[in-house]
Chains A and B, each alone.
Chain A
Amino acid sequence: MTIIYQGKPTETDATTVAAFLESRGGFKNAVIEYKGEILAGDAAGAAALEDGAELNAYRIVAGG
Protein backbone atom coordinates (compact mmCIF):
# COMPACT_ATOMS: atom_id res chain seq x y z
CA MET A 1 0.00 0.00 0.00
CA THR A 2 0.94 3.65 -0.21
CA ILE A 3 0.76 5.92 2.81
CA ILE A 4 1.66 9.57 3.18
CA TYR A 5 4.65 9.56 5.52
CA GLN A 6 6.17 12.88 6.60
CA GLY A 7 4.22 14.48 3.76
CA LYS A 8 5.48 12.15 1.01
CA PRO A 9 3.83 9.14 -0.68
CA THR A 10 5.61 6.06 0.67
CA GLU A 11 5.25 2.43 -0.38
CA THR A 12 5.18 -0.12 2.41
CA ASP A 13 4.35 -3.77 3.11
CA ALA A 14 3.90 -3.08 6.82
CA THR A 15 0.42 -3.63 8.21
CA THR A 16 0.72 -1.66 11.43
CA VAL A 17 2.00 1.78 12.33
CA ALA A 18 4.51 0.22 14.70
CA ALA A 19 5.88 -2.17 12.08
CA PHE A 20 6.26 0.65 9.58
CA LEU A 21 8.05 2.90 12.06
CA GLU A 22 10.32 0.10 13.19
CA SER A 23 11.37 -0.33 9.55
CA ARG A 24 12.29 3.36 9.61
CA GLY A 25 14.51 3.13 12.68
CA GLY A 26 11.95 2.89 15.46
CA PHE A 27 9.83 5.40 17.29
CA LYS A 28 11.30 5.69 20.76
CA ASN A 29 10.91 9.26 21.97
CA ALA A 30 8.68 10.31 19.11
CA VAL A 31 5.20 11.71 18.89
CA ILE A 32 3.20 9.74 16.36
CA GLU A 33 0.40 11.46 14.46
CA TYR A 34 -1.79 9.13 12.43
CA LYS A 35 -4.82 10.32 10.47
CA GLY A 36 -4.71 13.61 12.37
CA GLU A 37 -4.69 12.07 15.85
CA ILE A 38 -1.82 11.41 18.23
CA LEU A 39 -1.19 7.77 18.99
CA ALA A 40 0.07 7.45 22.54
CA GLY A 41 1.37 4.40 24.38
CA ASP A 42 0.05 1.04 23.21
CA ALA A 43 -2.15 2.68 20.57
CA ALA A 44 0.94 3.37 18.47
CA GLY A 45 1.65 -0.34 18.26
CA ALA A 46 -1.87 -1.50 17.65
CA ALA A 47 -3.01 0.86 14.91
CA ALA A 48 -3.47 -0.77 11.51
CA LEU A 49 -2.02 1.01 8.51
CA GLU A 50 -4.53 2.01 5.87
CA ASP A 51 -3.84 2.78 2.25
CA GLY A 52 -3.60 6.52 1.69
CA ALA A 53 -3.50 7.37 5.39
CA GLU A 54 -1.26 10.16 6.62
CA LEU A 55 1.42 9.34 9.18
CA ASN A 56 3.89 11.70 10.81
CA ALA A 57 6.57 11.05 13.42
CA TYR A 58 8.06 13.97 15.34
CA ARG A 59 11.33 13.34 17.19
CA ILE A 60 11.60 14.35 20.80
CA VAL A 61 15.22 15.32 21.43
CA ALA A 62 17.00 16.54 24.55
CA GLY A 63 17.42 20.17 25.52
CA GLY A 64 15.75 22.58 27.84
Chain B
Amino acid sequence: MSVNTYLNERERRILESAVVGIAGAGGLGSNCAMHLVRAGVKKLVIADFDVVGESNLNRQFFFRDQLGRKKVDALAENLRRIEPDLSLDLRDVRLAPDNIDWTFSGCSVIVEAFDSADAKSMLLHALLPLGKPIVSASGIAGWGRSLAIGQRRIGKNLILIGDTSSDVNSGLAPFSPRVGIAAAMEANAVVSLLLGEEI
Protein backbone atom coordinates (compact mmCIF):
# COMPACT_ATOMS: atom_id res chain seq x y z
CA MET B 1 0.00 0.00 0.00
CA SER B 2 1.41 3.37 -1.03
CA VAL B 3 0.74 6.62 0.79
CA ASN B 4 -0.07 7.96 -2.67
CA THR B 5 -3.32 6.21 -3.57
CA TYR B 6 -3.51 8.02 -6.93
CA LEU B 7 -0.70 5.97 -8.49
CA ASN B 8 -1.46 3.26 -11.00
CA GLU B 9 0.33 -0.09 -10.63
CA ARG B 10 3.15 0.80 -13.03
CA GLU B 11 3.81 4.15 -11.40
CA ARG B 12 3.68 2.67 -7.90
CA ARG B 13 6.16 -0.06 -8.83
CA ILE B 14 8.63 2.40 -10.41
CA LEU B 15 8.54 4.89 -7.56
CA GLU B 16 8.76 2.24 -4.85
CA SER B 17 11.73 0.49 -6.43
CA ALA B 18 13.76 3.65 -7.19
CA VAL B 19 16.54 4.74 -4.85
CA VAL B 20 16.84 8.53 -4.63
CA GLY B 21 19.89 10.22 -3.11
CA ILE B 22 19.47 13.42 -1.13
CA ALA B 23 22.69 15.34 -0.54
CA GLY B 24 21.88 17.62 2.38
CA ALA B 25 18.91 17.53 4.74
CA GLY B 26 18.30 21.26 5.12
CA GLY B 27 15.69 23.50 3.53
CA LEU B 28 15.88 21.86 0.15
CA GLY B 29 16.65 18.29 1.18
CA SER B 30 14.20 17.85 4.05
CA ASN B 31 11.28 19.30 2.09
CA CYS B 32 12.23 17.51 -1.12
CA ALA B 33 12.35 14.21 0.78
CA MET B 34 8.93 14.92 2.27
CA HIS B 35 7.46 15.50 -1.19
CA LEU B 36 9.12 12.40 -2.60
CA VAL B 37 7.74 10.20 0.18
CA ARG B 38 4.25 11.63 -0.28
CA ALA B 39 4.62 10.96 -4.03
CA GLY B 40 5.36 7.30 -3.37
CA VAL B 41 9.16 7.03 -3.27
CA LYS B 42 10.17 4.60 -0.53
CA LYS B 43 13.94 4.26 -0.79
CA LEU B 44 16.16 7.22 0.03
CA VAL B 45 19.84 7.71 0.75
CA ILE B 46 20.05 10.86 2.89
CA ALA B 47 23.42 12.40 3.72
CA ASP B 48 23.98 15.29 6.14
CA PHE B 49 26.43 15.91 9.00
CA ASP B 50 24.52 18.70 10.75
CA VAL B 51 22.10 18.97 13.66
CA VAL B 52 18.77 20.79 13.74
CA GLY B 53 19.27 24.41 14.80
CA GLU B 54 16.97 27.27 15.75
CA SER B 55 17.57 29.10 12.45
CA ASN B 56 16.50 26.02 10.49
CA LEU B 57 12.91 26.09 11.73
CA ASN B 58 11.86 28.93 9.38
CA ARG B 59 11.97 26.61 6.38
CA GLN B 60 13.17 23.09 7.12
CA PHE B 61 10.96 20.07 7.76
CA PHE B 62 11.80 19.83 11.45
CA PHE B 63 10.11 20.77 14.70
CA ARG B 64 11.14 22.64 17.84
CA ASP B 65 11.33 19.48 19.93
CA GLN B 66 13.96 18.17 17.47
CA LEU B 67 16.47 20.97 18.12
CA GLY B 68 19.96 19.57 18.62
CA ARG B 69 19.20 16.22 17.02
CA LYS B 70 21.04 14.88 14.00
CA LYS B 71 19.17 16.03 10.90
CA VAL B 72 19.27 12.61 9.27
CA ASP B 73 17.66 11.01 12.34
CA ALA B 74 15.05 13.73 12.83
CA LEU B 75 14.16 13.69 9.14
CA ALA B 76 13.83 9.90 9.14
CA GLU B 77 11.45 10.16 12.09
CA ASN B 78 9.32 12.78 10.31
CA LEU B 79 9.25 10.92 7.01
CA ARG B 80 8.11 7.76 8.81
CA ARG B 81 5.21 9.74 10.26
CA ILE B 82 4.06 10.06 6.61
CA GLU B 83 4.97 6.54 5.49
CA PRO B 84 6.22 4.00 8.06
CA ASP B 85 7.30 1.52 5.39
CA LEU B 86 10.44 3.28 4.16
CA SER B 87 13.93 2.06 3.39
CA LEU B 88 16.16 4.92 4.57
CA ASP B 89 19.93 4.76 4.29
CA LEU B 90 21.04 7.54 6.63
CA ARG B 91 24.58 8.85 6.27
CA ASP B 92 25.72 11.12 9.10
CA VAL B 93 28.68 12.33 7.10
CA ARG B 94 30.15 15.50 5.61
CA LEU B 95 30.13 14.83 1.88
CA ALA B 96 33.45 15.36 0.12
CA PRO B 97 34.95 14.36 -3.24
CA ASP B 98 36.35 11.16 -1.73
CA ASN B 99 33.04 9.83 -0.39
CA ILE B 100 30.37 11.15 -2.75
CA ASP B 101 30.81 8.35 -5.29
CA TRP B 102 30.22 5.46 -2.90
CA THR B 103 27.56 7.28 -0.91
CA PHE B 104 25.30 7.59 -3.94
CA SER B 105 26.49 4.69 -6.08
CA GLY B 106 23.22 2.79 -5.64
CA CYS B 107 20.95 5.74 -6.48
CA SER B 108 18.92 6.20 -9.65
CA VAL B 109 18.72 9.98 -9.23
CA ILE B 110 20.53 12.35 -6.89
CA VAL B 111 19.20 15.60 -5.46
CA GLU B 112 21.71 18.35 -4.67
CA ALA B 113 20.33 20.08 -1.58
CA PHE B 114 23.29 21.90 -0.09
CA ASP B 115 23.42 25.45 1.16
CA SER B 116 26.82 26.92 0.29
CA ALA B 117 27.80 27.63 -3.30
CA ASP B 118 31.20 25.97 -2.87
CA ALA B 119 29.60 22.78 -1.54
CA LYS B 120 27.01 22.74 -4.33
CA SER B 121 29.71 23.18 -6.93
CA MET B 122 31.93 20.51 -5.35
CA LEU B 123 29.05 18.04 -5.29
CA LEU B 124 28.05 18.68 -8.90
CA HIS B 125 31.60 18.26 -10.16
CA ALA B 126 31.94 15.01 -8.21
CA LEU B 127 28.58 13.63 -9.35
CA LEU B 128 28.51 14.63 -13.02
CA PRO B 129 31.17 12.10 -14.10
CA LEU B 130 29.00 9.29 -12.66
CA GLY B 131 26.56 9.87 -15.52
CA LYS B 132 23.48 9.77 -13.28
CA PRO B 133 20.64 12.28 -13.38
CA ILE B 134 21.17 15.12 -10.89
CA VAL B 135 18.59 17.64 -9.75
CA SER B 136 20.13 20.78 -8.29
CA ALA B 137 19.04 24.24 -7.15
CA SER B 138 20.64 27.67 -7.43
CA GLY B 139 19.01 31.02 -6.70
CA ILE B 140 16.18 30.45 -4.23
CA ALA B 141 16.74 33.05 -1.50
CA GLY B 142 14.44 35.89 -0.51
CA TRP B 143 10.74 36.15 -1.24
CA GLY B 144 8.41 36.97 -4.12
CA ARG B 145 9.36 36.42 -7.77
CA SER B 146 7.97 32.90 -7.71
CA LEU B 147 7.90 32.64 -11.49
CA ALA B 148 11.58 33.59 -11.71
CA ILE B 149 12.38 30.18 -10.23
CA GLY B 150 12.97 28.40 -13.48
CA GLN B 151 13.89 24.89 -14.43
CA ARG B 152 16.30 23.92 -17.17
CA ARG B 153 18.08 20.83 -18.36
CA ILE B 154 21.81 21.38 -18.80
CA GLY B 155 23.66 18.83 -20.85
CA LYS B 156 22.16 15.36 -20.60
CA ASN B 157 22.01 14.74 -16.86
CA LEU B 158 21.61 17.98 -14.92
CA ILE B 159 18.32 19.62 -14.05
CA LEU B 160 18.89 23.06 -12.49
CA ILE B 161 16.12 24.77 -10.56
CA GLY B 162 16.16 28.39 -9.40
CA ASP B 163 16.83 31.85 -10.78
CA THR B 164 20.66 31.38 -10.55
CA SER B 165 21.00 34.83 -8.96
CA SER B 166 19.15 35.14 -5.63
CA ASP B 167 22.11 34.49 -3.37
CA VAL B 168 22.07 34.06 0.39
CA ASN B 169 25.53 35.63 0.43
CA SER B 170 24.18 38.85 -1.09
CA GLY B 171 22.02 39.54 1.95
CA LEU B 172 18.89 37.62 1.02
CA ALA B 173 17.72 35.21 3.70
CA PRO B 174 16.35 31.77 2.86
CA PHE B 175 12.60 31.82 3.52
CA SER B 176 10.21 28.90 3.54
CA PRO B 177 8.01 29.84 0.57
CA ARG B 178 10.80 30.25 -1.99
CA VAL B 179 12.96 27.41 -0.66
CA GLY B 180 9.83 25.28 -0.48
CA ILE B 181 8.93 26.02 -4.10
CA ALA B 182 12.40 24.96 -5.20
CA ALA B 183 12.31 21.82 -3.02
CA ALA B 184 8.95 20.87 -4.47
CA MET B 185 10.26 21.50 -8.00
CA GLU B 186 13.25 19.28 -7.26
CA ALA B 187 10.92 16.50 -6.11
CA ASN B 188 8.66 17.08 -9.09
CA ALA B 189 11.61 16.73 -11.47
CA VAL B 190 12.74 13.52 -9.73
CA VAL B 191 9.28 11.96 -10.05
CA SER B 192 9.13 12.88 -13.73
CA LEU B 193 12.62 11.52 -14.38
CA LEU B 194 11.78 8.24 -12.63
CA LEU B 195 8.54 7.85 -14.54
CA GLY B 196 10.31 8.63 -17.82
CA GLU B 197 8.29 11.71 -18.58
CA GLU B 198 9.01 15.31 -19.46
CA ILE B 199 10.37 17.26 -16.53
- Is A61 a contact partner of B155 (Cβ separation < 8 A)? no
Selected contact of B155 from candidates A28, A36, A60, A64, CB within 8 Å: A36
- Which of B11-19, B23-31, B67-75 is found at the contact surface with chain A? B23-31
Interface size on A, residues (CB 8 A): 18
- Is A64 a contact partner of B115 (Cβ separation < 8 A)? yes
Selected contact of A60 from candidates B27, B120, B179, CB within 8 Å: B120
How far is B140's CA from A30's CA once the two chains are assembled, in angstroms?
16
B117 within 8 A of A: yes
Given A36-B155, A38-B155, do A60 and B115 touch, yes or no (CB 8 Å)? no
How far is B170's CA from A63's CA once the two chains are assembled, in angstroms?
10
Give the residues in chain A near B116, CB-CB below 8 Å.
62
Selected contact of A63 from candidates B118, B124, B139, B160, CB within 8 Å: B139
How far is B138's CA from A59's CA once the two chains are assembled, in angstroms?
7
Q: Is the interface of A mostly helix, strand, loop or mixed?
A: loop
Given A29-B117, A29-B120, do A64 and B164 touch, yes or no (CB 8 Å)? no
**Residues of chain B having any CB pair with chain A under 8 Å:** 24, 26-29, 113-118, 120-121, 124-125, 128-129, 136-141, 152, 154-158, 160, 162, 164-170, 172, 174, 179
**Residues of chain A having any CB pair with chain B under 8 Å:** 28-31, 33, 36-38, 40-41, 56, 58-64
